């Protein structure tokens, strides 16, 4: 029997809801792997890389299912896990270290998107802001460079500013609650969509497009899927947002052409970043109807209530089938195993 090892963070007892979610993912993936007939074990990922490497070696995996989301070091360490696995010459699932770093660092990601001609909202980061400039005025969302799961996004996520100086001050003030580094992205008031992608025999398959619907009355400039909307079930924001797959029948509001434009842009992201196995791309669509990429998620959340699983269900695909395809993509990763030692 082949042996699959889950590489995962081990959140402590006081961990936040988003960190604890990794345990839910590990449980469902382990169950699917067993159903597929694999023997499973799990290895905790810590920043003591020699220790992690030794535990991995001891577990003797045929394949590693990488569920690491940064953990103790925060989001900025998320690419250490695939880098270690590559260095050890192990077969593993999901994005490689370069794709992981390029997509997880939102500033790197925006540079890749611009270079590939994929629309993404304009942005400012602290080093480039410099002297006050009038053209910096407007509404921005202040986002973490490395953190995900809407960390640091509260009710005040999208402030209106009058000049670059005000924006600089905001970025400095908010950095500590955003993993230490943040940037300002032009706020797009329009509709929000998620497009999940799953590798398959003919390359990446685009799963049904989901819309994140903001129900009820959200004041202008506040339609943000913030931390509470994602993780705090009792909150007003959680109750007033929901995922819908109904828009593909909704010809009056963009319908099929919009779904096709979203699918094309999501596939363009897959290729621009060199993703592998599974991914989810988040979009906002402004008044001009152009899908703007706001977030490229390599190795998206696999929890039953996450967007990736919802898209699988909508496509009529079972979770085991998806896990099998993710494993196969890892096994046939181009250019793998690396031959570093021979160089
Ligand atoms: N440019 C933007 N304009 C409007 N809302 C945005 C923009 N970027 C992000 N958001 C909102 O913030 C949420 C979280 O941002 P996102 O970039 O997807 O980061 P995360 O990695 O935390 O999911 C999005 O789901 C969306 O509701
Ligand atoms: Mg997102």
User: Domain for residue 159, yes or no?
Assistant: yes
The encoded tokens of residue 150 equal 């809407």
Residue 282 CA to residue 273 CA, distance in Å, equals 15
Residue 228 beta carbon below 6 angstroms from any ligand 1 atom: no
Ligand nearest to the CA of 222: 1
Range of the domain at 196: 102-119+189-209+245-331
Looking up residue 297, the CATH number of its domain turns out to be 3.30.470.20
Q: Cα(300) to centroid of ligand 2, in Å?
A: 10
pTM, rounded to two decimals: 0.94
Q: Are residues 193 and 309 in the same domain?
A: yes
**Has residue 226 been placed in a domain?**
no
Q: What Cα–Cα distance (Å) separates residue 112 from each residue in 98, 115, 168, 192, 284?
A: 12, 5, 24, 21, 18
Q: What is the CATH number of the domain that holds 68?
A: 3.40.50.20
Ligand 1 contact via 282 beta carbon (within 6 Å):
yes
Q: Which residues contact 53 (CB under 8 A, 6 or more apart)?
A: 84, 88
Question: Ligand 1 pocket check: which of 106, 225, 285, 287 to mutate, most ligand atoms within 8 Å of Cβ?
Answer: 225
Q: Check whether residue 323 and residue 309 sit in a common domain.
A: yes
117 alpha carbon – ligand 1 mean position (Å): 20
Cis omega before residue 337 (within 30°)?
Answer: yes
- Helices then strands, counting H and E runs in the chain, come out as 12, 13
Per-residue pLDDT of the chain (343 residues; tens, 9 = 90+): 799 999 999 888 888 888 889 999 999 999 999 999 999 999 999 999 999 999 999 999 999 999 999 777 789 999 999 999 999 999 999 999 999 999 999 999 999 999 999 999 999 998 766 554 557 889 999 999 999 988 989 999 999 999 888 999 999 999 999 999 999 999 999 999 999 999 999 999 999 999 999 998 788 899 999 999 999 999 999 999 999 998 765 555 566 789 999 999 999 999 999 999 999 999 999 999 999 999 999 999 999 999 999 999 999 999 999 999 999 999 998 766 655 554 4
Q: Which of 226, 286, 294 to mutate to test the pocket of ligand 1 (most atoms within 8 A of CB)?
A: 294
In a domain, 151, yes or no: yes
Q: Please tell me whether residues 162 and 20 are part of one structural domain.
A: no
What pLDDT score does 122 carry?
94
Q: In Å, how far are 149, 229, 309 from 236, measured between CA atoms?
A: 18, 8, 24
Residues 267 and 131 in one domain: no
HEC readout, 222-244:
CCCCCHHHHHCCCCHHHHCEEEE
**How many angstroms does the Cα of residue 54 sit away from the middle of ligand 1?**
38
Residue 68 and residue 151 in one domain: no
Nearest atom (ligand 1) to Cα of 150: 22
Q: Please check whether residues 80 and 112 belong to one and the same domain.
A: no
Taking the CA of 106 as reference, the closest ligand is: 1
Distance 55 CA to ligand 2 centre (A): 32
Residue 224 forms part of a structural domain: no
pLDDT at 343: 43
Q: Which atom of ligand 1 is nearest to the CA of 297?
A: 21
**Is residue 44 in a domain?**
yes
CB 185 within 8 A of CB 121: yes
CB-based contact 149:227 (threshold 8 Å) = yes
In 3D space, the residue among 290, 266, 276 whose CA is nearest the CA of residue 331 turns out to be 276
45 falls within a domain = yes
Which value, to the nearest 10 degrees, does the dihedral of the CA atoms of residues 318, 322, 327, 333 take?
160
Number of domains composing the chain: 3
Q: Is residue 301 part of a domain?
A: yes
Identify the CA nearest to 56 among candidates 29, 85, 27. Answer: 85
Distances (CA, A) of 161 to 64, 106, 158, 165, 324: 46, 21, 10, 9, 48
Question: Are 111 and 251 in the same domain?
Answer: yes
CA of 284, nearest ligand number: 1
Task: Indicate the residue among 155, 186, 217 that finishes a domain.
Answer: 186
In a domain, residue 83? The reply is yes
Angle (CA) 49 51 55, round 5°:
115
In short, whether 188's Cβ falls inside 6 Å of ligand 1 is yes
**Ligand 1 touching residue 191 (CB < 6 A):** no
Q: For 153-209, list the strands marked E by DSSP.
A: 160-161, 182-186, 191-198, 205-206
Q: Which atom of ligand 1 is nearest to the CA of 189?
A: 4
Q: Name 309's Cβ contacts closer than 8 Å, sequence gap at least 6.
A: 302, 303, 319
pLDDT at residue number 253: 57
Contacts of 209 (CB under 8 A, 6+ apart): 193, 194, 195, 245, 247, 248, 259, 262, 263
Q: Give the bridge partners for 242, in sequence order.
A: 213
Same domain? For 85 and 145 the reply is no
Angle 288-281-234 from CA coordinates, rounded to 5°:
95
143 and 11 share a domain?
no
Asked whether 141 lines ligand 1 (CB < 6 A), one says yes
**Same domain (yes/no): 274, 198:** yes
Strand partners, 140: 186
Mutate to test the pocket of ligand 1, among 21, 195, 282 (most ligand atoms within 8 A of CB): 282
Same domain for 110 and 249? yes
Same domain for 81 and 41, yes or no, is: yes
């Amino acid at each position: 029997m082949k042996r699959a090892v889950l590489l995962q963070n081990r959140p402590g007892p006081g961990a936040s809801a988003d960190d604890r979610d990794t345990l839910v993912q590990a449980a469902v993936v382990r169950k699917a792997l067993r159903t597929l007939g694999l023997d499973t074990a799990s290895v905790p990922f810590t920043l003591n890389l020699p220790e992690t490497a030794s535990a991995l070696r001891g577990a003797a995996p045929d394949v590693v299912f990488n569920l690491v989301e940064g953990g103790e070091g925060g989001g900025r360490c998320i690419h250490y896990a695939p880098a270690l696995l590559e260095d050890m010459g192990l077969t593993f699932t999901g994005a490689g270290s370069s794709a992981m770093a390029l997509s997880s660092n939102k500033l790197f990601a925006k540079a890749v998107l611009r270079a590939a001609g994929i629309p993404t909202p304009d942005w400012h980061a602290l080093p480039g802001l410099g002297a006050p400039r009038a053209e910096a005025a407007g509404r921005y969302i202040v986002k973490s460079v490395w953190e995900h799961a809407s960390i640091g996004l509260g009710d005040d996520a999208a402030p209106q500013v009058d000049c670059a100086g005000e924006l600089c001050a905001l970025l400095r003030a908010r950095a500590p609650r955003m993993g230490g580094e943040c940037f300002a992205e032009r706020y797009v008031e329009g509709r929000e969509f998620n497009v999940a992608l799953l590798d398959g025999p003919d390359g990446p398959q685009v799963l049904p497009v989901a819309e994140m619907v903001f129900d009820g009355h959200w004041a202008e400039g506040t339609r943000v899927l913030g931390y509470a909307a994602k993780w705090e079930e009792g909150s007003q924001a959680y109750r007033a947002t929901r995922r819908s797959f109904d828009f593909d029948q909704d010809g009056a509001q963009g319908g099929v052409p919009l779904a096709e434009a979203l699918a094309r842009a999501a596939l363009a992201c897959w290729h621009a970043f060199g993703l592998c196995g599974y991914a989810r791309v988040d979009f906002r669509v402004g008044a001009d109807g152009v899908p703007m990429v706001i977030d490229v998620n390599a190795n998206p959340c696999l929890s039953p209530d996450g967007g990736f699983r919802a898209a699988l269900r909508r496509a009529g695909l079972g979770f085991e089938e998806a896990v099998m395809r993710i494993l196969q993509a890892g096994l046939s990763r181009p250019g793998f195993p690396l031959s570093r030692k021979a160089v």
